[in-house]
Structure 1
């Protein structure tokens, strides 16, 4: 499945807003604009104020209401960090964020446990054979995750 290209932080936030609307989720956005405001800048040189295209770097932090607790930090470098009930998914491509959120809120995400090595994994499958998996580090599952165990 082709994903729409989300070239800017603003377009990513608009796509997240559409997913929030689909699932009737409240959404709070905090924007950080400018080299002195963004949390990381790896695409430009030291002391650079503008991005290579001449724009100011823009980062957004999005909190979605509902269960599970989900936050999305969209970075200027075309990626995002998505946190689902305390489990961090780093380096998710910006274009994959809407599909990731639809998988989580649409019931496709699940938890799988293993005896050796012991642990629980939160698995988020996306269309097109793309799957994200992260270890649940806290050792205990949230109520939402407990309901997703396979």
Structure 2
């Protein structure tokens, strides 16, 4: 259990958690759904007109965009992971259960950018529960005003 959230077994429960986080931080949220193997991004090899996986299940993917600064989007995949984009930085392979905590760190001001002198570079650091953190390389050319304001 993370931040009082139970395991998010379905895309619908994960979307409900995103909506709750958006309400908590007074953010607008827009969600679109892709349902069926012929619609989801990781199943482009599905044949024409094939909507189910080989096991007969109907894969469900969702994409959410949050209003405000920083610009944040979340793509929830049927495989229990997500791609979160914070401004220009893509954070792939985030476990679905960590998504609400990840967003709370970003919206709550805990996420920051660490600058390194040698070799020069930047990393987006997003603290997660249990003394964990997601770290993602930020190319200098992708530093936005919001990312620059978070450099430590």
List aligned pairs for 1:1-40, cutoff 5 A.
2-3=1-2, 4-40=6-42
TM normalised by structure 2 equals 0.89
Q: Matches of 1:52 and 1:18 in 2, distance apart?
A: 33
More helix by share: 2
Q: Matches of 2:142 and 2:58 in 1, distance apart?
A: 41
Gaps spanning 5+ residues in structure 1: where? none
Residue from 61, 64, 77 that aligns with 2:63: 61
Gaps spanning 5+ residues in structure 2: where? none
Aligned-residue CA RMSD in angstroms? Answer: 1.9
Q: Matches of 2:132 and 2:51 in 1, distance apart?
A: 35
Alignment check: 8 A CA contact 1:23 1:105 kept: yes
Question: Does 2:112 align with 1:110?
Answer: yes
Runs of 4+ in 1 over 6 A off after TM superposition: none
List aligned pairs for 1:125-136, cutoff 5 A.
125-136=127-138
Question: Does 2:99 align with 1:97?
Answer: yes
Count residues with an aligned counterpart.
Answer: 147
